[in-house]
Amino acid sequence: MIHERRREPKGKLPSDPGGGSDLYSSISCKKGIRLMPFVNDMLQSFAQQKIAKEEENTGPNQSTKSSSATVVTRFTFDVNKVMQHLKSHIAGQQEALNAIEQMLRLVRADIADPSRPLYIALFLGPTGVGKTEIVRLLAEALHGNREAFCRVDMNTLSQEHYAASLTGAPPGYVGSKEGTTILDKEKIEGSYRTPGIVLFDEMEKASNTVLQTLLNVFDNGLMTVASGQITINFRNSLIFMTSNIGAREVQEYARRKSHSKLRHFLRVTRPLSIETTRKLIQEQLESRLSPEFLNRVDDIITFNWLDETAVEDIILLHIRQLNQRLLHHRVDIHLEPSMLAHLAEVGFDQRYGARSLKRAIRRYVEVPLAEYLLSRSWESEMPSERVIVAWRNGDTHFRKDLQKE
């Protein structure tokens, strides 16, 4: 049996069963190349859907319109609202906040070098002064989530072969074809309207080999995994590094300069000047990090040691955060001056910063408060109450505020 090949009617496409649909009528053939105008419409529609989805997922401090009609920029966050959020949670670090504000305005104007990361900063200072916390708050302000950033704990990369955790296993080693890396590509690259955030925490504890792998990232904003199949783009990222380099040397220097044996501990020593502190830290920094590494950092910011003037603000900040967690208990606590003074006395220590105050609040406020909440009778229609916390006779006391309306 001889099968004849079916001939298509003239003017119809072989793949067009209907012979005259609008979809295929828009396709023209010229010199053997099919032009499909509807593809552009589809791409435009997909782009509009993506932008609409990003607008739905914007953080609380973002707006979909530019703050000024003369500014043309792809970023939508409001610098003033972001800074207001940071300043309401960080105490005693005005210089660091000023540097962050300048950086945000530069990024918001969209005039940063497009061939490298938007910003690279190194935060220096002792433990418990807010270096990591300021990155969390920035992620919360920009993305609406405190954990919306890629965090790399550099103390886990203390050996040379751990560099493969960033760039992937080299060829010939187990896992080289998978291209596995601890970096979160989505959080690093961010979105068209919002920059990504990366934190390399305690970077002085990483090996030199690990630090050298970051040089190319700081230089051109790209990192290709060893398998060659994945390239992570840092050009839309804010990169932060934290370090305690020089903190111990500053503490020892302060002790030696103390004029009284009673001031052996740092929390009662005379504070060092800012110039002396920066000089000591700079010496340690240059002895630990190479010049080519430091030369690629945009800002090196030294955080202040906490002093008595910031203690009360930090305590009240923790109490406000505690009151947020007490909303479902319908309780709002207020500290009497006696409790505030006691927490400042037993909790303040420059060596440990705000973490020492947090431990004091946990011991003298949160633990007794938990016992108070568990011992009281609970009713479904119970109105909210204000509780006064006082320190008397070496113990924590609670009483209801009867004057509250």
Each residue's pLDDT tens digit, 308-354: 778 888 899 999 999 999 988 888 999 999 999 999 999 888 777 88
Integer Rg of the chain from CA: 29
**Pairing of the two strands 28-30 and 222-224:** unpaired
Q: Are 201 and 158 in contact (CB under 8 A)?
A: no
pLDDT digits over 116-125, tens only? 999 999 999 8
Q: Are 110 and 74 in contact (CB under 8 A)?
A: yes
DSSP per-residue string spanning 357-374 = HHHHHIIIIIHHHHHHHH
Could you give the 3-state DSSP secondary structure of residue 388? strand
Instruction: Give the integer Cα–Cα distance in Å for 6 and 132.
Output: 72
Alpha helices in 190-290 (DSSP H): 208-212, 215-220, 247-256, 274-288
pTM greater than the 0.85 cutoff: no
Instruction: Give the integer Cα–Cα distance in Å for 313 and 90.
Output: 9
Q: How far apart are the first and last CA of the chain?
A: 100
Query: Three-state SS across 160-218?
Result: HHHHHHHHCCCCCCCCCCCCCCCCCHHHHHCCCCCCEEEEEECHHHCCHHHHHCCHHHH
Q: Which two tokens stand for residue 251?
A: 């503490």
Would you give per-residue pLDDT tens digits along the chain (405 residues)? 444 455 544 444 444 444 444 443 444 444 444 445 555 566 566 666 665 665 555 555 665 444 444 567 899 999 999 999 999 999 888 889 999 999 999 999 999 899 999 999 999 988 888 899 999 999 999 999 999 999 999 888 877 766 777 776 665 555 555 557 888 999 999 999 999 999 999 988 888 888 888 888 999 999 888 667 788 999 999 999 999 888 787 777 767 766 544 454 444 445 566 677 778 888 888 888 888 999 999 999 988 888 777 888 889 999 999 999 998 888 899 999 999 999 999 988 877 788 889 999 999 999 999 998 888 776 666 778 899 999 998 899 998 876 654
Instruction: Give the integer Cα–Cα distance in Å for 107 and 77.
Output: 10
Q: Are 303 and 123 in contact (CB under 8 A)?
A: yes
